Structure 1
Amino acid sequence: MNDKLQILQLVRLRGRTTAADVAASTGLSTDSVDSVVRELCDAGLVQDLRGRLKLTGDGRVELTELIAAEREDVDQAQMSTAYHDFSSVNATFKQVVTDWQLVGEDKPNDHTDAAYDAAVVSRLEGVHTDFRPLLGRLTELAPRLTMYPARFDAALTKIRDGDHSWLARPLIDSYHTAWFELHEDLIGLAGLTRAEEAAAGRAQ
């Protein structure tokens, strides 16, 4: 697995992040992440801004090239099929998140209705269960994605334990955060762009 690619991609997706957060999401050791980050900073691919990492222009170019090289090792026919299957599950997940944030079409969910929230969480658990076989196929096609099952499991465990911020809260490794980042990885691996997916109505 390419640790450099893994780290560059997470830094890109998060805008600014810390080495500790990168290690937690990737499952890499803190020492390994720190070592690679130092190399990336020395090469001018990443900036360390008071402990927060940011991708540079050269880093974006390098990342694009690394993803293109990774894509050459992925069976594109199988990835295309898997991405099509993901798009269907993605539509279901997006509706779960929408219903978590809104009650009806436009009323913000103030989370005072415990029964309503419990029903949405139950639907999320259904998505989680139904998605696991497909996620297994995706990790077989692209081993770099093997960090995602543990991330989804960890977020869902926190949700089940009553901390519902782990469903869709930004800036933490919530279920939605992991889903968004997986979607971005799949777009790159399938040779697509976010603009193309938005035009097709599949962007999250």
Structure 2
Amino acid sequence: MNDKLQILQLVRLRGRTTAADVAASTGLSTDSVDSVVRELCDAGLVQDLRGRLKLTGDGRVELTALIAAEREGVDQARMSAAYHDFSSVNATFKQLVTDWQLVDEDKPNDHTDAAYDAAVISRLEGVHTDFRPLLERLTELAPRLKMYPARFDAALTKIRDGDHSWLARPLIDSYHTAWFELHEDLIGLAGLTRAEEAAAGRAQ
């Protein structure tokens, strides 16, 4: 597995992040992340801005090349089929998040209706269970994605424990954050672009 690719991609997706957050999300050891980050900074691919990591222009070029090389080793027919299946469950998840954030389509959810929130969380439980076989297919096709099952499980555990911010809150490794980042990984692995997916109504 290419640690350099994993780290560059996560730094790109997060905008600015810390080495500790990268380690937590990728499952790599802190020492491994620190070592690779030093190499990336020395090579001018990443900037360390007071502990916040940011991808440079050269870093984006390198990341694009690494993803293209990774894609060559992935069965594209199987990836295309898996991405098609993902698009269906992605639509379900997007609607779930919308319903979590809004009530009656346009009223912000103030989360005072416990029964309403519980119903949405119950739907998330169903998505989580139904999605697992497809997620396993995806991780078999691209081993770099093997960090995602643990991330989804961890976020759902926090939600079950009563901290509902882990469903869709930004800037933490919430269920939605992991989902968004997985979608971005799949777009790259399938040889697509976010602009194409947004035009098709499939990008978040």
Q: Under TM normalisation by the shorter chain, which class is it?
A: over 0.9
Alpha-carbon distance in structure 2 between the residues aligned to 1:105 and 1:93: 15
Alpha-carbon distance in structure 2 between the residues aligned to 1:41 and 1:97: 36
SS of the residue aligned with 2:67? Answer: helix
SS of the residue aligned with 1:111? Answer: coil
TM-aligned CA deviation for residue 151 of structure 1: 0.0
TM-aligned CA deviation for residue 168 of structure 1: 0.1
Alpha-carbon distance in structure 1 between the residues aligned to 2:182 and 2:104: 28
SS of the residue aligned with 2:187? Answer: helix
- TM-score calculated relative to the size of structure 1: 1.00
TM-aligned CA deviation for residue 112 of structure 1: 0.1
Tell me what 2:142 maps to: 142
Alpha-carbon distance in structure 1 between the residues aligned to 2:50 and 2:71: 34
Alpha-carbon distance in structure 1 between the residues aligned to 2:179 and 2:13: 12
Alpha-carbon distance in structure 2 between the residues aligned to 1:98 and 1:7: 30
Tell me what 1:94 maps to: 94
TM-aligned CA deviation for residue 59 of structure 1: 0.0
TM-aligned CA deviation for residue 18 of structure 1: 0.1
Structure 1: unaligned runs, 5 residues or longer: none
Alpha-carbon distance in structure 2 between the residues aligned to 1:96 and 1:139: 24
1:16 aligns with 2:16: yes
Tell me what 2:195 maps to: 195
- TM-score calculated relative to the size of structure 2: 1.00
TM-aligned CA deviation for residue 44 of structure 1: 0.0
Alpha-carbon distance in structure 1 between the residues aligned to 2:46 and 2:131: 34
Aligned residue pair count: 204
SS of the residue aligned with 1:118? Answer: helix
Alpha-carbon distance in structure 1 between the residues aligned to 2:184 and 2:144: 13
TM-aligned CA deviation for residue 58 of structure 1: 0.0
TM-aligned CA deviation for residue 100 of structure 1: 0.2
**RMSD across aligned C-alpha pairs, in angstroms?**
0.2
Alpha-carbon distance in structure 1 between the residues aligned to 2:18 and 2:181: 16
1:156 aligns with 2:170: no
Deviation by residue 1:126-161 (Cα, 9 ceiling, x = unmatched):
000000000000000000000000000000000000
Structure 1 ranges of 4+ moved more than 4 A: none
TM-aligned CA deviation for residue 167 of structure 1: 0.1
TM-aligned CA deviation for residue 105 of structure 1: 1.3
Alpha-carbon distance in structure 2 between the residues aligned to 1:144 and 1:192: 18
